[in-house]
Amino acid sequence: MNDFIDVLIVGSGISGLRAALEASKYSDNVKIISKLPVMRSHSVSAAGGINSVSVSHDSLNSFIADTIKGSDYLADQDAVSILVNHTTEEIKYLESIGVNFDKSDKAYSANKLGGAEFSRALNSSSQIGLSIMQRLYEEVKRNDIQILENWHVLDLIHKDGTCYGLIAFNKDHNKIKAFFSSIVILATGPAGHIYSNTTNSTNCTGDGVAIAYRAGAYLKDMEFVQFHPTSLIGSNILITERARSAGAYLFNKNGERFMTKYAPSSLELAPRDIVSRSIINEINDGFGLKDSKYDDYIELSFTHLSDSVLNEK
């Protein structure tokens, strides 16, 4: 069967491209299938940074501890450990394929983001997602990994607990086709658009979770959805956490810096779930600002920051 594929990856965001490059070390018959053109994957929007131990007084153990603490001790600690222990080599890999991380005097310039004891978030001219996507995409092309774009995967082909491939709909030609593969990897991104308020793009509809569920997979931890605390009212375009890292304050309608109440030491840089919950608490308690067109909101203020901080950040 000529069409048989060794490894078929659904999704061409950072996860899908990276998985394809890794799989291509073991097979020259790896393909990516995606409902979008590569550079429209949501990964291009990531702007806050990618965490890695980069300052001398930081350590992998501290990174692991912050991550577990930030999860209210609910995270799978083995998974956290694997994630953190691979970051240094992954940053080196990304550099090796051409991602330019911001540096000052040859040392990484890292920002301190929410829930982190040390500055860890590396960036690339404020466009970390775009930068990584561009380099991974180039690398995928250089390795001759075929990308099938505009194919919307509908379901897996499976029998008795074994997956044999998938069924997909081609949006350009209105046709449905079966793809057969020994290994299918779902890298279909987030599901933010099942909620009315989200900073995810409209393509983030949780398809992979639904596809796996329909095929009989067990789902776990479905309640762990991160809501980014700050976005533009109306459009929900994300205001990156670097704004709070640079010193922006959150105020309620009485001009109170309410994070002093919820997280007295970390304030606006508490983990995102704490900041998001605090904002919603303030609004639900009647302390939100009013707008004639939109729901009540909270103010993110930069007015106390100097021009040089604003320009630099």
Ligand X SMILES: Cc1cc2nc3c(=O)[nH]c(=O)nc-3n(C[C@H](O)[C@H](O)[C@H](O)COP(=O)(O)OP(=O)(O)OC[C@H]3O[C@@H](n4cnc5c(N)ncnc54)[C@H](O)[C@@H]3O)c2cc1C
Quickly count: other Cβ atoms within 10 Å of residue 213's Cβ: 13
What gap in Å lies between CA 200 and CA 227, rounded to an integer?
10
Contact track, ligand X, 158-197, x by CB under 6 A: -----------------------------xxxx-------
Task: Enter the DSSP assignment of 276.
Answer: H
What gap in Å lies between CA 37 and CA 81, rounded to an integer?
33
Q: Which of residues 134-153 bind ligand X (CB under 6 A)?
A: 152-153
7 burial level (CB within 10 Å; 0-12, 13-18, 19+): buried
Identified catalytic residue from 18, 120, 242, 272 = 272
Window contacting ligand X (CB under 6 A); options: 29-37, 171-179, 253-261, 283-291: 29-37
Query: Tokens at residue 13, please?
Result: 């965001």
Give the nearest distance from C-beta 253 to ligand X in angstroms.
27
Residue 198: C-alpha distances to residues 75, 102, 192, 225, 272 (Å)? 23, 29, 6, 10, 14
Quickly count: other Cβ atoms within 10 Å of residue 299's Cβ: 15
Residues near ligand X (CB under 6 A), total: 34
Q: Which of residues 117-136 bind ligand X (CB under 6 A)?
A: 128-129
- Tell me which of 29, 31, 47, 65 binds ligand X, using CB under 6 A: 47
Contact track, ligand X, 193-232, x by CB under 6 A: ------xx--xx--x-------------------------
Whether 272 sits among the annotated catalytic residues: the reply is yes
131 vs 199, which CB is nearer to ligand X?
199
Distance separating the N- and C-terminal Cα atoms of the chain: 55
8 Å CB contact between 87 and 58: no
Query: Residue 111 forms beta bridges with which residues?
Result: 121
Does position 8 bind ligand X by CB under 6 A?
no
7 vs 204, which CB is nearer to ligand X?
204
What is the binding site for ligand X (CB under 6 A)? 10-16, 33-36, 41-43, 45-50, 128-129, 152-153, 187-190, 199-200, 203-204, 207, 238
Catalytic residues: 272
